[in-house]
Amino acid sequence: MQNNQAKIEAKTEVVQLTAVPSAPAGAESPKDKAPGKSRVFFVLGALVLVGLGFGGRMYWRSQNFVETENAYVAGHVHPISSRIAGVVTKVLVDDNEVVKEGQLIAELDPADQRVKLEQIQAQIASVEQQVIQSDAQAAQARASASAAQAQVAQAEAQALRTQQDAQRYTELYNKQMKAVAKSELDASVAARTSAQADVTARKDAALAAQAQVGWTQSAREVLKAQIKVLQAQARDAQLQLGYNRIVAPVSGRLGKRSIEVGARVQPGQQFAAIVEDKVWITANFKETQLAGLKPGQDVDVTIDALPGEHLKAKLDSFSPASGNQFALLPADNATGNFTKIVQRVPVKLTFADADLQRLAGRLVPGMSAIVEIDLRQSVGTQH
């Protein structure tokens, strides 16, 4: 009985041991789970703080700074072209070369202009000889007019004498007295009539001679005017001859050269361009960014081609109209499908002279730039 009782107790213990579940391998206790949750909360809190800091910085910058990437370096680009047609005989410059104002760039063959100038000079000499001939004719005409006037006086004197003779013969031959013959009276009357007709003819001749004097004087004035026209043509031909020498209109760097010796150029044909060293920034700000901008403000400029350079500039002036107004085909908003679009206004920013001299040849028109303006600054500071 005791042995059976001992066996039963032993089986009961085995059953109890079998019924108790064993803990799975790798399971974490509650104490092990607490550090993992803390790390997650820490990371989330750090991200929230970073986001708040980033958002706060963006808001702060939006209130105190204005920035745009729509900015480019601009400058004066002077096209070089020929004013006359001709064949190129010399080219004295090359691409990217520094030139001075008035420096000879190219020469054209001057033969055509020189021949034209000589022709006009020959025409002037010919007309001047005609003027000399006209002067001689005018002198002759004045002499003829003077002689004709003298003949008029002579004819008038003769007419006066015949008038007196006819009057005397008429008094001597009347009804009471026949002191002279009738033939003598008739002869005196005929002489008087002839003398009067001669006076009229002499006066007409004098008028013709005087008109000849006026005509010769007018012809001389016409020739003198023709000389002035030819002299103007000669000056023009001289200018045309000078246009064979093509010189630099300004100082700067030459580029886009497309001219070679032997090429024939036409008037207005561009074959090179000169870019001045004086450049500036054209920044296209949104119209909503213009409220805090004023001329004279300092501007921070970063050039994409010069990443290590942080340049200073000044806000010089605003464009008189938005960029859309200067477009070839401005938008027509008087339509039913209007959509409001924020416009861009070009703003001119000028560099300091020291930066222009230091970066001469490296700041060129067309480069992209990023500009930033601190709205908290006071206006009126100098470079």
Q: What is the pLDDT of residues 279-329, one digit of tens each?
A: 999 999 999 999 889 999 999 999 999 988 889 999 999 999 988 888 877
One of 2.40.30.170, 1.10.10.10, 2.40.240.20, 3.40.50.300 is the CATH number of 64-108+253-374, namely: 2.40.30.170
Q: For residue 37, which amino acid is it?
A: K
Domain locations in the chain as residue ranges: 64-108+253-374, 111-242
Token pair for 373: 């303006």
Separation between Cα atoms, residue 344 and residue 52, nearest integer Å = 31
Average pLDDT for 104-121:
92
Q: Against a cut of 0.75, is the pTM above it?
A: no
Whether 274 shows a pLDDT value over 90: the answer reads: yes
Phi, psi of 244, rounded to the nearest 5 degrees: -70, -20
Residue 3 pLDDT level (bands cut at 50, 70, 90): very low
Say what the pLDDT of residue 335 is: 66
Half-sphere exposure of 80 (CA within 13 A, CB side): 30
Say what the pLDDT of residue 135 is: 82
Angle between helices 182-242 and 111-172 (to 10 degrees): 170
3-state secondary structure of 273: strand
- In words, the CATH class of domain 111-242 is mainly alpha
Phi, psi of 47, rounded to the nearest 5 degrees: -65, -40
- Of residues 153 and 81, more confidently modeled: 81
Task: Give the range among 14-28, 75-89, 176-190, 288-302 with minimum mean pLDDT.
Answer: 14-28
pLDDT digits (tens, 9 = 90+) for 45-75: 888 888 887 787 677 666 778 999 999 999 9
pLDDT digits (tens, 9 = 90+) for 229-273: 999 999 999 999 999 999 999 999 999 999 899 999 999 999 999
Residue 21 pLDDT level (bands cut at 50, 70, 90): very low
Question: Which candidate, 339, 347, 284, places its Cα nearest to that of 316?
Answer: 347
Q: Round the average pLDDT of the chain to a whole number and report it.
A: 82
pLDDT digits (tens, 9 = 90+) for 333-353: 766 677 788 889 999 999 988
Run of H or E residues at 351:
strand 344-351
Within 8 A by CB and 6+ apart from 239, the residues are: none
Say what the pLDDT of residue 34 is: 57
Task: Give the range among 56-65, 78-87, 157-166 with minimum mean pLDDT.
Answer: 56-65
Residue 97 pLDDT level (bands cut at 50, 70, 90): very high
Separation between Cα atoms, residue 106 and residue 108, nearest integer Å = 7
Q: For residue 367, which amino acid is it?
A: M
Say what the pLDDT of residue 107 is: 94
Residue 134 pLDDT level (bands cut at 50, 70, 90): confident
User: Quick one: what percent of the chain has pLDDT higher than 90?
Assistant: 40
Within 8 A by CB and 6+ apart from 336, the residues are: none
Run of H or E residues at 53:
helix 30-64
- Of residues 379 and 302, more confidently modeled: 302
